[in-house]
Amino acid sequence: MNHYAKIDDNNIVVQVIALTDQKITNPETNEVDVSYGKTFCNENYSGRWIDTCVLNIVHDECTLEQCRKYARIGDTYDEAQDAFIPPQPYPSWTLNDHFEWEPPIAAPNVERSEVPADKSYEWDEDAYQADNTTGWKQVDLVTSAEVKLEALGLTKEDLKELLSM
3-state SS string for the chain: CEEEEEECCCCEEEEEEEECCCCCEECCCCEECHHHHHHHHHHHCCCEEEEECHHHCCCCCCCCCCCCCCCCCCCEEECCCCEEECCCCCCCCEECCCCCEECCCCCCCCCHHHCCCCEEEEECHHHHHHCCCCCEEEEEHHHHHHHHHHHCCCCHHHHHHHHHC
pLDDT digits (tens, 9 = 90+) for 4-44: 999 999 999 999 998 888 888 888 888 888 788 888 898 89
Going from N- to C-terminal start, the domains of the chain cover 2-87, 89-165
- For 108-146, write each residue's pLDDT tens digit: 887 766 767 777 888 999 999 999 999 999 887 777 677
Whether the predicted pLDDT of 155 surpasses 80: no
Residue 55 has pLDDT above 60, yes or no: no
pTM above 0.85, yes or no: no
Torsion of CA 127, 130, 134, 135, to 10 degrees: 30
The answer to whether 110 and 94 are in contact (CB under 8 A) is no
Query: Which of the pair, 53 or 52, is modelled with greater confidence?
Result: 52
